[in-house]
Structures are given as C-alpha cells and as structure tokens.
Structure 1
Amino acid sequence: MKKIQPLLILLMLCFVGACNEDSLDSLSGKYDMDRYVFDKVEQATTEKIGGGIKVFPMTLSDGTNTMTLTLGSSEWIMPAGVYTPAAAVSNKNQFSAVINGDIVVASGNLEITLLESTYYISGLLSDASGNRFKVDYKGVLSFEVGEDDPEASGYTISIVENQVVDENETVYPELTKYAITVSDPNGVAVFHVDAVNNAGMTLADLVGTYTTAGYPTEAWLADNGWVVYFPEWGVEMGGGTYFTDANNKKQYVTQGSIVITAAEDMNGNPLYSFSGENLVTLTAQNEPGTDGAFSIMFASEVNNGGTVLKDQTITSEVLGMDMKYSVYLPESWDGIKTFPVLYLLHGADGGNNDWITGGKIDVQVAAAVAAGTAPEMIVIMPNCTVDGKNLFYVNGYQGDAQYMTYFFDEFLPTVEALYKVKGDRENRAIGGLSMGGYGSLYYGGIHPEMFSYVYACSPAVMIDGTPNLFDIYGAAVTEGATLPGITLEIGTGDFLYETAGWFKGFMDSMSIDHEYITRDGAHDWAFWMACTPKIVAKLGTLFSEN
C-alpha cells in the first residue's frame, strides 16, 4: 500500500485539474513522437564494400515523407533480424537512415521480419537531440543475387630466387629456382615449393602447374620433397616441396603436381591459390604420408615496405679485414629521424643475409608496422662466418679472432651512428638462431645494460670452447644485474632440444624471468621463419612502450 498511495494522490490531483499535460511532461518527459508508415520503396543497386559485406540502399516513402535507408548484410538478400545504427554501414546488421533529408537517425534499432515474400520493417528511432520517430514499412523488396569477389585469406607469400644446379653441380643460368613459401596468418609456414622456371619471372608469371622431380633442370618442374630422419636422436631434416596437413604435420611431396592459380579481389589486388591432389608424400619421420591433397586459397604476396641493404662492409682493425653486414631500414628512414634497433645473428655456416632470405624479417617488420602492432625499427644483421670458420660471436673461437671485441668496439658504434639508432637500452634488442641464438644470449648476459630483450631461436647453449652461459647468467644474478627479457624457442625435433631444456631448467632454478616456447619443428628455416613474427610482436610491445 505504501507504493500505491502516492500514485492515487497524483491521479486525484489530476482529476480535479491540478495536473495538466505540461506538468506530466515536466515530470516524465515528452511522449509525443512523429510516426511514418511507408508503403512505397525505391531500391538502388546493391554494393559490395569488401570483407564479404553488401549494402542495400533504398528510399521508403508515404507520398509525403521519405526515409533514405542503407542496410548491411553478409548475404545477397536482406535477412530478418535486428539492425543497429551506424554513421556509415560497414558490417552486417547495421543501418543508416535519414528522414525527410535532414533528420539523421542516431539511435534505436530496426527490426526486420520476412514472411513469405513480404518484408516488415519497424523501429523506434531517435535523432541526436533525442526526438523520437516511429517508422514502419510493409511490402515486397527485391535483391540482385551476385557473386562475391575473392577476399585475401590472411595467408602470405614470400619468394627467394636461387640458382638451378643439377646433381653434378652444373649451373643453368637461363633458369631460376623460385623458392615460394606460404605462411598462415600467424606467420607459420604451411607450404613450400622450389619451382623451376625461366629467369626474371614475377609471381604472376609463375602461375601454372609444376611436376615434382629430383634435381629439376627444366621449366615447370619443382624439387620433390626429401626427408632424413635419425630416430636414435629424434632429429629430423627435410626440404623441397611440402605442405602441412590438418594436424599441422609436414607432408613432403615426393611425387605429383602443384598447381598455382591467380585471381583478383574487388580492388584489383592479385591473390594466389596453391593446391595439389593425389600426391605421394612422406612425413618428417620418413614414413608414408597420410594426406595426399591440400588447398590454400587467396594468399597475398607481401613486400618489405622499406629498404634492404645487403652485403654492406665495415673495415675492422680488430679482425684485420672487411666484414659484411646487412640492414633493413624502415620506410620513413631519412637519415635524421632515430629508430629502435634489433640485431639478428645468423647460425653456423650462414651469413648476414640469412634473416632476410630465409626469415623474411624485413617483410614481417613491415607487415607489423602496417597493422599497427609494432613501431618502425631498424634491423641490423652482422656476419660471423669468415673464410669458412664459424667464430661463434666470441673471442678466440677457431683461432685468435677477437669477434666479440669487434662487435662491441667497432661494429655496433659504427652502424648505430650511421643509421641513426636511438642507442639506449630500452630501444635495443638482440636475437639469433642456433649459433646466433648462443651469441644473443651471450651478449645479453655479458652486457645486460645494453639490451632490453634477447630472443634466442634453437640456441646452441653448450658449445666446447665458448664462454659458459650458465656461469655468465649465474654471476649476473649474484651481482644483482638487471637482465634483459628472454625468450627461448625451439622445436621438439631439434637436435639441440635437450640442451635448451637444461638451460631453461637452470633459469628456473635461478629465478631468471623468461619465456620458453616449444612446438613441433626441426633445426631449419621452416621453423625459424615462424619465429620471426613472434620476435616482431614481442618487440612491437617493447619498443612501443618507449
């Protein structure tokens, strides 16, 4: 009764004239609204706006009033459902509307019902000032059913050109081996083919069918897949043409044909698809494959979005020779603006171009910058294999070469001044693979004041004749040094997997903060290529904070 009594008093006051429409308005707001019952429609041509979204423009009228209406859908007809307002329709179940040419709908939903061939559109809408409008339409709408344009799937393509050489090491200069790798949206390589064709061709020229063969030396052939497996060590090695199956396991193609086709998206950008059927395959364990078919649709070729300078040189007094290095400079590099820097170290028997040709680090950085997940950065890649000797980034390995001294006293100061590196710890990181994985951990351990992060891929952490990483990091902890962030990433089929696990256990025992990533993979570029987007993502967060 306590809740009812005030209402009874209010009603009695209104009954005797103490309450009028104005007083009700002042209590509860104005309830009057315009209502439009439309019975005519004029439809415009359906438009495709990308991402599989279509928009349906139309004008509803009652002979006096009009409502210009645009609706969004992922189908070629307008499905029933609830549609929410948007300033510009960009997705399904959105609408934009203008009544009588100047009343812009800002809020409220449209409910659309379809019974047989009749559409019912109704909604309680408001403009930006809070004025409300009730709209209704009943009638027939017609739609043109068209065909969707291909849409980029998020898979990306990279190409490296190599010489064509037969089993007798005869070179065929009129031909080129196009090493085509397709990666999924996470940067994991899911397909590779070494396609042989005429020199000087673009990806668009390479569209066609390639038959796998051993040591191919004719156009329209491709390297067949091969596998070497050492079960006693659990080590796997493979190359040539392969794809990954539904379980993300590599299937190396030993017989069959690979088909490359091309299409265009709605903006005319080229997209490429790769497929194969009735293929004979081997697994990474050198066993008969279980999947003889694959299909990858609408992948995009990527570019580096910057400048790659290969085989630059610096004259080293410490080493007594000219030393090579390579650099990736971001698109806005102008010789004045400064940038954060990532140093990437190659593996044994490798060189300063490896992270470009094998890891596509330039492409990954440019893609991350374009996506807004990383700031522009410089990537510098030194060389550490001299006259066939792997110097392991230390002093006195395989002779008396003082490589570590060269790196810190000559190389790093020179390139940082030349390429306008920011030069502080927070904007400097280092990474590497195998021998370079050791080098990155070594440099991060002996100079933690210089590097904010270390990303070591498949690191060789226990090598006779090199400084002991366990001792270095143990001493750093004892001395209270601020160590860089650390990530170790290694494949479960890598011959270094066990020793990497020992170092991870040591870091656990010393309470050294780190990230340890293991996944299927061997000691090869298929594994390391999938590391590069993670390196960039990690540094995207790190450098963006500075």
Structure 2
Amino acid sequence: MLPHFVTLHSGALNRRINCAVYLPADYETSPDKRYPTVYLLHGLGGSELDWHFKGNAAETIAYLTRNGELTDSIIVMPSDGGYDRGTFYLDWYDGSGNFGQYFIHDLVPFIDRRFRTFADREHRGIAGLSMGGFGAFLLALRNSELFGAAASISGALALMPDYDAMALTPAWHPSNSARLVGPLDGPYSEAHNLAALAVKALAGANYPALYFDCGTEDYLYAANKWFKSELDKCAYPHRFESFSGEHDWHYFSTHLEKALCFINAFFTGRRDD
C-alpha cells in the first residue's frame, strides 16, 4: 500500500502543508461509497512520512483490514506544520503559529472535501505517537464534536512536566515551552492541560473514547501513569495499558494495531473504553 500525497493551503499558517493519505483498496472502484477517517499524527521532529517509512503503517493497516479487524478507512497522516519545531498541535502562546487552528479549521474540512468521508464524529478518530499522542488527545478533548475516539502511543500526556524529558531530544529547543504555552502556572498553560480538558469534556453531551499505552521503560511512562490517575479521579471512562518497551519505533509500530482496533471498535458501535 502506497500513500497518496496531497497539499493544502492553510489559512491559519498562511502556507502550504503536506499530507500523506492511505485510501481503501476499493476507493476508486466504489465511487458511491463513503469511509470513516483516522488521523495519524507523528511525533516531535517528524513529518507526514514517518508512519509510512518508520512505523510500518501500511503493513499494519493491510493486515487488520484483511482480517476484518479494521473497517475500510481513510488514514490521514498530516504534517504538524512546524518544520521540525515541535508544534504539539496547538496554537502557540507567542502567536508564532496557529497549529491547532490549522488542524481543525483547515485540514479536517479539506480532507472531507477532497475525499469521500463520513464527515461526523461517529466516523472520525485520531491517534498519534509521543508529541502526536498529546496532540490526538488535545484535539479530541477540545473538539469532541469532531472526534469520537482518540488513541495515544507513548504520549507526552503531562505536557508541562514532560518539558524536561523533551529537552533530551535533538529537535527540542529550551525556549519552546514558553513559546508554546507561556508561564507554566498561567491560564494559557492550564487551557492545554489534558486532565482539565478531560473534566470539561466529560461534562458535555459527547466525550471522546480514549485509549493509551506506554512502555514501562519509556521516559514518558510516569506522565502516562499520571494521566491515568487524573482520569480515574474524575471517573472518565478510558483504557490504559502498559507493556515492556522503550520510546522507539519498535514500540510505536508494534502498538499501532491496538490504537487502530480501539478506534475501529468505536466506528462499529462497540465502544471499548
């Protein structure tokens, strides 16, 4: 399976952004058929090509589809738009990049216009690794009218404490934390705290189904345990699993299957949180 490459103009970022898309095998031969959509996000310093070339996504999707574990779906692998800056898929505090607006107001409508999707939350899910795991949960919890299910693989879920861990990665710059969310005890930072967003989403009519897992040797494992404890406190339904593993592509690619199967269960009316 090879991805289709598309480019969209983002009004939020005032530039063109690349995106890789897997289409179902029968997409061209079934012109009246519509499909669910899964957005698959890359991590810090990555690109729209990561899941295809590093994560064996094509093989995993083909295997799950062939075995009836994944409904024929459109899989969208977008660039975060940050050119290696590590956007965390949010609008930056310093105003230098509206990466959240790009995703919600530019990318999702573009995909629904360009491809034959079911353009509703019941048929739209989102997943990601590391920074993309945070982005998947952030975008789903803040936009539950758009996303019905979200999954995180080795996610940077406690964004503020995770800055120290992220500083160990080559793509991270020490000034990024202040640029992203401002003072860590400020209101803008709190507005991007996943635990607070979960409480708010749970009070609404619809809240996204959440799945996340992390390797026990991963430097982000403590952040994942923290987020699980916060979800337990507010009685937010979720599934969390931990496995032996580190923060690497072996773990990410191996556990993509679990993320996709969880989202697919939501698509087929078998919510599994």
TM-score, normalisation: structure 2: 0.82
Equivalent positions of 1:61-460 (< 5 A) are 304=1, 307-310=2-5, 312-334=6-28, 336-396=32-92, 400-460=96-156
More strand by share: 1
Deviation at 1:397, TM superposition (A): 5.4
Deviation at 1:532, TM superposition (A): 1.4
Maintained 8 Å contact 2:17/2:81: no
2:3 aligned partner, one-letter code:
V
What is the CA–CA distance in structure 2 between the aligned matches of 1:526 and 1:451, rounded to whole Å? 27
What is the CA–CA distance in structure 2 between the aligned matches of 1:386 and 1:541, rounded to whole Å? 32
Maintained 8 Å contact 2:211/2:262: no
Deviation at 1:536, TM superposition (A): 2.7
1:476 counterpart residue number: 201
1:515 aligned partner, one-letter code:
R
2:45 aligned partner, one-letter code:
D
What is the CA–CA distance in structure 2 between the aligned matches of 1:323 and 1:358, rounded to whole Å? 20
2:225 aligned partner, one-letter code:
G
Q: Aligned pair in 2 of structure 1 residues 473, 449: CA closer, same or farther (>3 Å)? A: same
Maintained 8 Å contact 2:153/2:256: no
What is the CA–CA distance in structure 2 between the aligned matches of 1:538 and 1:445, rounded to whole Å? 17
More helix by share: 2
What is the CA–CA distance in structure 2 between the aligned matches of 1:509 and 1:421, rounded to whole Å? 36
Q: How many pairs are equivalent? A: 239
Q: Aligned pair in 2 of structure 1 residues 397, 326: CA closer, same or farther (>3 Å)? A: farther
Deviation at 1:500, TM superposition (A): 1.1
Deviation at 1:506, TM superposition (A): 0.5
1:323 aligned partner, one-letter code:
I
What is the CA–CA distance in structure 1 between the aligned matches of 2:143 and 2:7, rounded to whole Å? 25
Secondary structure, counterpart of 1:393 in structure 2: coil
Q: Aligned pair in 2 of structure 1 residues 387, 424: CA closer, same or farther (>3 Å)? A: closer
2:216 counterpart residue number: 492
| Structure 2 unpaired stretches of 5+ | 161-180, 182-188
2:210 aligned partner, one-letter code:
I
Percent identity between matched residues is 28
| Structure 1 unpaired stretches of 5+ | 1-303
Q: Aligned pair in 2 of structure 1 residues 399, 524: CA closer, same or farther (>3 Å)? A: farther
Q: Which has the higher contact order (CA 8 A, sep 6+)?
A: 2
Maintained 8 Å contact 1:491/1:497: yes
Question: In the TM superposition, what whole-angstrom CA distance separates every residue of 1:229-275 from its partner, at most 9, and x where no partner exists?
Answer: xxxxxxxxxxxxxxxxxxxxxxxxxxxxxxxxxxxxxxxxxxxxxxx
Maintained 8 Å contact 2:39/2:127: yes
1:463 aligned partner, one-letter code:
L
What is the CA–CA distance in structure 2 between the aligned matches of 1:496 and 1:449, rounded to whole Å? 29
Maintained 8 Å contact 1:348/1:385: no
Deviation at 1:496, TM superposition (A): 0.7
| Alignment of 1:512 onto 2:208 | no
Maintained 8 Å contact 2:46/2:84: no
Secondary structure, counterpart of 1:323 in structure 2: strand
What is the CA–CA distance in structure 1 between the aligned matches of 2:157 and 2:70, rounded to whole Å? 29
Deviation at 1:510, TM superposition (A): 0.5
What is the CA–CA distance in structure 2 between the aligned matches of 1:463 and 1:373, rounded to whole Å? 32
Q: Aligned pair in 2 of structure 1 residues 408, 476: CA closer, same or farther (>3 Å)? A: same
What is the CA–CA distance in structure 1 between the aligned matches of 2:262 and 2:197, rounded to whole Å? 24
